[in-house]
Structure 1
Amino acid sequence: MENKTVNILGFDFLNSSFNDFMENTKQRIDKRENTFVVTANPEIVVHALNDQKYTDTIKKSDYLVADGIGIVMGANILGSDMSERITGYDILLDLLSWGNQNHKSAYFLGAKPEVIADLKKIIPQKYPDLTVSGYHDGYFTDSDEIAAEIKQNQPDMVFVALGFPKQEYFIEKYRHVNDGLWIGLGGSFDVLSGHVQRAPQFWINHHIEWLYRLIKEPTRFKRMLALPKFIRLVKKQKKNEAK
């Protein structure tokens, strides 16, 4: 796959269809190529702009994908045709299905203990032919111990749902122990386990999934303020590039 990218505020976002990205990712997993994927929304970008360590970590990833309609909007403002999001949750579902069909292995790290407890019930039921290399919730003190377990089991895919920036820091620090896919997935385990409801398809299709989540979780309002800030910064970037 030719890696077409769009530079948004200094970050090179992959400009690809979901299907092309997934096909390429599966090929890399089959070849046991070490792959670090960051799924980023405007909130992550705004945070990174104020945190050089996080910026450096993100830029070490193999793929930075647009998990948020705000990123697509930003690309379009800059004149690039980015037509679709590549969300972490959709990646997870697709890889679980593919992994089940092809007898792959996966390690699940992150979320609350009760979420992981439910995943332990759901994964074997929905994906019986997927080998689970391990589960661990996001409440741990010894990250080296978890990395050692991943190194011993050598899973094809490591799903890390610790929230940013913790998940990206963990991956960047330990990806060398296992040549497989490493991807940060935020709150995806919460949705997969049924603890959080994803927006109905209508909201997703009309690019207002963020509004559905805000209605369901009003406490997210402060976090949502990152979107208008992000858009302002992108417009400033466009203005500067036009000079």
Structure 2
Amino acid sequence: MLKLKLLSLKVSLGSYETLLCHIVNLAKQHKPSYVCIANVHSVVEARRNRSFREALTSADIVAPDGMPLSRSIKLLHGIKQEPQVATELLNGLFARAEEEQLPVFFYGGSSEVLKRASDYITQHYPSLQIAGKYSYPFRSLTEQDKEDIANKITKSKAQIVFVVSGVRRQEKWMYEMRGRIPGVMVGIGDALPALVGIKKRAPKWMKNGNMEWAYNMANEPRKIFTSYLATYAVYTTLVLSEKIRLLMMKSTSTKFTQREIIEPLVQ
């Protein structure tokens, strides 16, 4: 998948169907690889945190999650990008894995989340093989821990590994485990708890209207006020600053067309 530079990250371009096909192909090839799903928080955090940015940059695929990133790509570069919704992507991968008979493994999350995930799959995707589950210890992993986990996943013959550790922790883990697991790792963060009913989800009309933040504010007002709003304010400022920079770049040089400005950002 082609990647486009969006502020501090390079995000993968393509439709939902294209994204699914690429992930499934990586799994079928047993290719050691990993996929990140980036949202506004990811972009801002990547700008602040060098190690997190490196983990995202090294990913095989970085899917833009939600309308804000899609609209930013359109605003800055004139490219229409279909927003990827993590919960929909997760359901899509479950369906494809069941259809293609690709065993899956769940790493991270609490024992309750993993149990609810098993129940959900049994109900909705009864032919999908769960090769294994591992609820990570609440401490820093040693090199021996990482080796043991890699061996456990490899022996399970899983071809898709769903990593449920939350933003930063899951990206760092996948970055450190790259090359050790013969399959594709997919960082799904809060998508799994939301999908199986542990975490409340905004109605579809609010997601489509870019109003998911309002739903989250009603359910977690302190978290939204101290984290989400501050993050969105920073993100909006960064996007507007980048838009101004691109306009100035275009207006001060008659040598560059819009296509010539955009193309170096895509690889």
* d(CA) in 1 for partners of 2:187, 2:124: 22
* Largest Rg, 1 or 2: 2
Question: What is the CA-CA distance between 1:138 and the residue it aligns to?
Answer: 4.2
Question: What is the CA-CA distance between 1:169 and the residue it aligns to?
Answer: 0.8
Structure 1: tracts of 5 or more residues without a match = none
Question: What is the CA-CA distance between 1:231 and the residue it aligns to?
Answer: 1.6
Aligned residue type for 1:159: F
Report runs of 4+ in structure 1 exceeding 6 Å deviation. none
The match for 2:121 is 123
The match for 2:63 is 65
Q: Give matches, 1:36-75, under 5 Å.
A: 36-75=34-73
Question: What is the CA-CA distance between 1:223 and the residue it aligns to?
Answer: 2.1
Partner of 1:48, secondary structure, is: helix
- Percent of aligned pairs sharing the same letter: 22
- Further displaced range: 7-16 or 154-163: 7-16
Select which of 223, 227, 251 maps to 1:223: 227
Query: Does residue 177 in structure 1 map to residue 180 in structure 2?
Result: yes
The match for 1:208 is 211
Superimposed CA distance per residue, residues 70-110 of structure 1 (whole angstroms, 9 cap, x where no aligned partner): 21222122133233211222221101011112221111122
Select which of 43, 59, 74 maps to 1:76: 74
Partner of 2:178, secondary structure, is: helix
Aligned residue type for 2:203: P
Partner of 1:134, secondary structure, is: strand
- Is this contact kept in 1: 2:42–2:167, CA < 8 A? yes
The match for 2:262 is none
Q: TM-score, normalised by structure 2?
A: 0.83
Residue-pair matches, total: 241
Aligned residue type for 1:16: G
Structure 2: tracts of 5 or more residues without a match = 250-267
Task: Calculate the aligned-residue CA RMSD, in Å.
Answer: 1.8
The match for 1:193 is 196
Q: TM-score, normalised by structure 1?
A: 0.91
